[in-house]
Amino acid sequence: MNKKKVVKYSIYVVLTVGLIFCVAALFSQVRQMIIELTVRILHHKNPENFYKMWFKPMQTYAMGGIFLFVFLGYCLLTASGKTLVRELKNPLKEINWRSFIKPGLLMSGIYLLGIISIIRANFLYEDDIGRSIDGNRSWYSMSRYVSEFLSIFIHADLRLTDISPLPQILAILILAICSVLLVYILNDRKITTVALLASVPVGLSPYMLQCLSYKFDAPYMALSVLASIVPFLFLAHKKVFIFYSIVSLLVMCMTYQASSGIYLLITLVLCFSDWNRKLKTNREILLFLRRAAFSFCAAMLIFKIFLLIPYNVYVSTSMLPFSRMFSGTLVNFTNYVNIIYSDFGWIWKALIGIILCFFIAKLVYNSARNKMISFTFAIVLLFLLFILSNGVYLLLDRPLLKPRALYGFGVLLGVIGIGISFNFNKSAKITALALSWCFLVFALSYGNALSDQKRYANFRVGIILQDLSALYPDKDENKIFVQLKNSIGYTPVVKNIAKHNPIIYKLVFQMMIEEEPWSNYYYLEYFNYASFSTANLKMNNGKSGEPFIDYSTLNLPVVKKTYYHTIRSDGKRVLVELNEGIK
Indicate whether 204 pLDDT > 50. yes
CA distances from 465 to 48, 282, 468 (A): 31, 69, 5
**pLDDT tens per residue, range 495-537:** 999 999 999 999 999 998 887 778 888 888 888 886 445 544 5
One-letter identity of residue 539: M
What value, to the nearest 5°, has the Cα angle with vertex 385 and ends 382 and 386?
A: 85
For residue range 142-161, list pLDDT tens digits in order. Answer: 889 899 889 999 999 878 99
H/E element, 67: helix 47-77
- What is the overall mean pLDDT for the chain? 89
CA-CA distance, 198 to 107, in Å (whole number)?
11
In 95-123, which ranges are continuous DSSP H helix?
A: 101-121
To the nearest 10 degrees (0 to 180), the angle between helices 262-276 and 218-229 is: 30
pLDDT classification of 476: cutoffs 50, 70, 90:
low
- DSSP bridge pairs for 558: 568
Q: How many CB atoms lie within 10 A of CB 405?
A: 22
pLDDT for the residue numbered 43:
64
> With 80 as the cut, is the pLDDT of residue 556 above it?
yes
Domain map of the chain by residue range? 3-77, 97-310+324-424, 447-578
Mean pLDDT for the stretch of residues 561-576? 91
The rounded distance, in Å, linking the Cα atoms of 200 and 220 is 19
Confidence of residue 543 (pLDDT cuts 50, 70, 90): very low
In 310-432, DSSP assigns E strands to none
pLDDT tens per residue across span 47-90: 766 666 667 777 778 888 888 888 888 888 888 888 888 888 88
**Helix residue spans in 125-165 (DSSP H):** 127-134, 145-154
Cβ atoms of residues 106 and 114 within 8 Å: no
Measured CA to CA, the distance from residue 273 to residue 280 in angstroms comes to: 9
